[in-house]
Amino acid sequence: MSDGITSTDFSFENQTHKYVGKVREVYEFGDKLAMVATDRISAFDVVLPRPIPYKGQVLNQLAFKFLAGTKDIVPNWVESSPHPNVTFGKRCEPFKVEMVIRGYLAGHAWREYSLGKRSICGRPMPEGMRENDRFPTPLITPTTKADHGHDEDISREEILSQGIVSEKDYRQLEDYTFKLFEHGTQVAKERGLILVDTKYEFGKYKGEIYLIDEVHTPDSSRYFYENTYHELLEKGEAQKQLSKEFVRQWLISEGFQGKEGQKIPEIPDERIALISDRYIELYENISGEKFVKDDYHDKLAQIKNSIAQISDTL
């Protein structure tokens, strides 16, 4: 198995800026950009030391597919995907919030609930719920979009009072979020999966709101298997996760939650392989297509060339 792509170090003649995120590296060319999905993996807002082979390809190809499938709901930034790890499109000015929407009491929401909290981001959570129970209606639980460090829960009221997003724009973000989640839920159901929760990011391009980044991938979303959901719920057993949650749970079992003073555990080869296989499993389940592994031989040069060919035409 390949070691995976940990970073890119490209420079292009007409490049105007480069941004390095937790997973993606973004090359800007004026009002356009090329986004490279590396094989890095993050959890608890910390980039883990070892890459996950094929993860970047999974994320890029799923995001491209689902963005194409939702453009009738909301316009998005994508124009083309010249390489399995690269997407090219419009450079939007991002809103400083992430629109998280939850259909089930899982992950962060459950961790808060288990501590006795009955509201999240100003939204009430009913009494008497079990882990992984479905909410009566999906909850939008926004987070701040931090340039560094941890994203933080924030309420609708705080977003508006602090002027992070105008009321008009926020109403539109909420509307898009509910519609995208409804669409993602239906697509997942057709594949025998449950879309548990997800996040959407939005930005503006020439005054219009666009969907940006990724959508319905295992890094931005959590999925359960529908055929085992009720049985496992009634038994009080863990759901099989098609998401990063199983990575987080392993890290928690190893004493790491991204808190100050905690040391990232060493990830053994067999767990790297397991995580890679799980990403590919999700791709095949949610897309209904066979995943074709891209060859890692000379891959960085191919990625660079794919960006150069488009950027040279700008």
Is the predicted pLDDT of residue 56 greater than 70, yes or no? Answer: yes
Query: What separation in angstroms does the CA of 15 have from each of 31, 32, 125, 307, 310?
Result: 11, 10, 47, 11, 12
CA pair distance 33, 29, nearest whole angstrom:
6
Assigned domain for 9 exists: no
The reply to whether 152 and 231 lie within a common domain is: yes
Considering the domain architecture, whether residues 166 and 297 belong to the same structural domain is answered as no
Q: Tell me, yes or no, whether 21 and 31 share the same domain.
A: yes
- My answer on whether 288 and 305 are in the same domain is yes
Confidence of residue 101 (pLDDT cuts 50, 70, 90): very high
Confidence category of residue 1, pLDDT binned at 50, 70, 90? very low
pLDDT at 148 over 70: no
User: 129 with 174, same domain?
Assistant: yes
Average pLDDT over residues 290-294: 96
Q: What's the CATH number where 106 sits?
A: 3.30.470.20
Number of domains within the chain: 2
Global pTM value: 0.90
| 85 has a pLDDT exceeding 50 | yes
Of all residues in the chain, what percent carry a pLDDT higher than 70? 98
Question: Residues 99, 72: one domain?
Answer: no
Task: Tell me, yes or no, whether 78 and 122 share the same domain.
Answer: no
Token pair recorded at residue 41 = 């993996």
113 in the same domain as 21: no
Residue 253 located in a structural domain: no
What does the pLDDT average to over 243-251? 85
Amino acid at 139: L
Both 106 and 41 in one domain: the answer is no
State how far the Cα of 302 lies from the Cα of 232, in Å rounded to an integer. Answer: 45
Band of residue 192 on the pLDDT scale cut at 50, 70, 90: very high
Mean pLDDT of the chain: 94
Q: Containing domain of residue 146, as a range?
A: 94-235
CATH number at residue 288: 3.30.200.20
Considering the domain boundaries, does residue 3 fall inside one?
no
Do 35 and 79 belong together in one domain?
A: yes
Residues 273 and 299 in one domain: yes
